[in-house]
Amino acid sequence: MKRVYFTLTLMSLFGGLNAFADVKQGGVVYDKMPDGSCIVVNYDDATMPADGIVTIAATININGTDCPVTGILGGENYTATDNNYDNGKYNVEGENTTYNRAAFANCKKITGLKFEKDSKVTWIGDHAFRFCTNLKTIENIPSVLDDIQGWCFEGTALESVDLSNTNVTIMKDGVFYNNTSLTSIQLPNKLENFWDNAFYGCKALNNIVMPSTVVGIYNNVFEGCTSLSNVKLNEVCTTLGHHVFKNCPLAEVTFPNSLNSIGEYAFESTKLNTVDLSNTQITSLPNGSFYNCEQLSDVKLPKALTNICDRAFYNSTIASITFPPSLEKIGAWAFYKARLANVVIPTTCRTIEQGAFSDNANLTTVVINGLECYLAYQAFCNCSKLTDVYITSKEAPVVERYGFPFDNDPKVHVMKDYVGTFSGLKTSENYNPCNTTNFDSNLPLILSKEWTTFTSAYNLDFSSVEGLTAYTAKYNKDNDAVALTSVKKVAAHTGLILKGEAGQTYTLPILASDADGLDAVTDNQLVDCVDAVWSSSRNKDYFLSNGKFVNSTNAGWALPGKSFLYISSGRANQSESPLRVYVDNTATAINGITNNPVVKDEAYYNLQGVKVQRPQHGVFIHNGKKVVLK
């Protein structure tokens, strides 16, 4: 927020009126205002209490009239001028007077500030107690106080402040700037915004309880609060400014769903371990958002995120991350020195800037689903373990799309019809802009379990791969079961279930972008996850987990490269038992999925898995076996 100074002007009254002298009481100087109230304008060394505790009176008697004290003068170099009002407020009655500083600015004698009971002070001006380096306590803060101006308590020795019962709605610029002894503060219950630098450098501040009304926390508010380890942001908070928690030892932050903006370097050099932004409204993570968060290992990105800007997660320890399908750009050095092992770039992503994934020592596999994604210079440099890059785009490759992103000659897997095109790409200097010489049209695949889900952005051929079978799936409501049908040549973006040997490497031929002879797949209820898919249909989404089809209990990402079963009308039997599975319309239990033998079932089913009430002649399924009734 822009600094806002509280400018006061003093009015002199002439034309036969008697001049009024300032009233001095208990080390405080008061002056009268035209509306009959008075304000604190200065302090008086001669009458300052010996213990340095200054009491602000509730009323001051002036010429026999009790005048309520309503404010404390702020700002510097305010001079009385004829009939010069500041919006008709806070103009002092008296002779031409120059106040060279705010009321108590630079006062070294004050050790405590106390307000009399029933105080009517509603405002404290800017810089009013600036550099009162021995001011440690404030007592009886009036509940009617609604305005504390910028830099009011800058550089004081305050240790604890209770503003909870005041009407203050804004912590203004630098209000407690560099209060190095401040350990705790009870914030106003009606607080809505923190303006810039409000608690900058309060290195002893160790806890902040945010009122439920806080909407915005702007630039540098808690920067340098080197004891602040925990902050909970409440549900109405929408905005976090630049450098807002820079250099705080934050180990945990709760991010509300309402949050829609984070400023540059907002969490630089914090000690966050986890960051969950998945339900926030954020669409862009600006430069350095989580810069140099060396302990940050787990990040969940916003569902609608479009941009990850330069150095957003620079020098983190993130080992895995799921990019939302809305992502369009990853900025320069965004994941520099992270610990990612695998990266899947979404279809909509158009740009990966210089050094975005540089120096990821654990990175082995990169999948580029972006249809026309530009890979900038050194985007994946110094990734010594990077062996396989998958460029899945059906768009023909062009020189302008690649700017020497690799430096260790990884194998690049592409559509069959593009192998020659990629190999032949040349810049004006006759260099291949991919900076690699190794292109092929094969997809090596290792199954983690005997049965697993799978989706690819390539057209694939399973027909000649021994020991590996691909299936589509369809739910049959009548017998509460899933039928699997094997497929051979599969179009891109087809959700599949694979059966093979766990740990075995299979090599699948990648077909051409316009391949012929692909299986006509109908009624497949497996959702393809070429990009990550957000699952929130808890009674309709089923995932293969520990060998069973289980219902989704929590909203979250279905990972790219996987698939899940979607039953549009819900499951007929809502029990928690695993779904019965049929392979090629034969009632053979998949032990890897159900982990149970076929449950004895006296009912008869036709070969389509439909229960038959009175079977007579034909081939049926009975107790898990084919039977022929004559």
pLDDT at residue 64, as a whole number: 86
| 3-state percent breakdown (helix, strand, coil) of the chain, nearest 5 | 5, 30, 65
Cβ pair 58, 68 in contact under 8 A: yes
pLDDT at residue 196, as a whole number: 98
Residue 279 has pLDDT above 70, yes or no: yes
Sheet holding 137-139, edge to edge: 53-56, 112-115, 137-139
For the chain, what percent of residues have pLDDT higher than 70?
Answer: 84
Q: What topology does CATH give the domain 7-154?
A: 3.80.10
**Amino acid code (one letter) for 505:** T
The mean per-residue pLDDT over the stretch 198-219 comes to 96
Where, residue-wise, is CATH 3.80.10.10 in the chain? Answer: 7-154, 159-175+187-254, 272-440
Residue 432 has pLDDT above 70, yes or no: yes
pLDDT at residue 551, as a whole number: 82
**Position 478 confidence tier, pLDDT thresholds 50, 70, 90:** confident
Average pLDDT value over all residues in the chain: 87
The mean per-residue pLDDT over the stretch 126-138 comes to 97
Q: Which of 101, 103, 112, 152 is nearest to 134 (CA)?
A: 112
**Position 145 confidence tier, pLDDT thresholds 50, 70, 90:** very high
The listed CATH number (3.80.10.10, 3.30.200.20, 2.60.40.1170, 3.30.160.270) that belongs to domain 159-175+187-254:
3.80.10.10
Residue 404, CA atoms < 13 Å, CB-side half-sphere: 9
364-417 pLDDT, tens per residue?
999 999 999 999 999 999 999 999 999 999 999 999 999 999 999 999 999 999
CA distances for 315 relative to 261, 283, 362, angstroms: 22, 22, 14
Q: CA-to-CA distance for 580 and 612, rounded, in angstroms?
A: 17
| Sign of the torsion formed by the C-alpha atoms of 609, 610, 614 and 617 | negative
State both tokens at 482. Answer: 């899933």
Cβ pair 232, 210 in contact under 8 A: yes
Q: CA-to-CA distance for 613 and 617, rounded, in angstroms?
A: 13
pLDDT at residue 622, as a whole number: 57
Q: Which of 583, 590, 591 is nearest to 621 (CA)?
A: 583
The listed CATH number (3.40.50.880, 3.30.300.20, 3.80.10.10, 3.40.190.10) that belongs to domain 272-440:
3.80.10.10
pLDDT at residue 621, as a whole number: 56
pLDDT at residue 615, as a whole number: 65
The mean per-residue pLDDT over the stretch 480-504 comes to 93
CA distances for 466 relative to 131, 382, 505, 506, 562, angstroms: 80, 37, 11, 8, 21
pLDDT at residue 617, as a whole number: 60
**Position 476 confidence tier, pLDDT thresholds 50, 70, 90:** confident
**Position 12 confidence tier, pLDDT thresholds 50, 70, 90:** very low
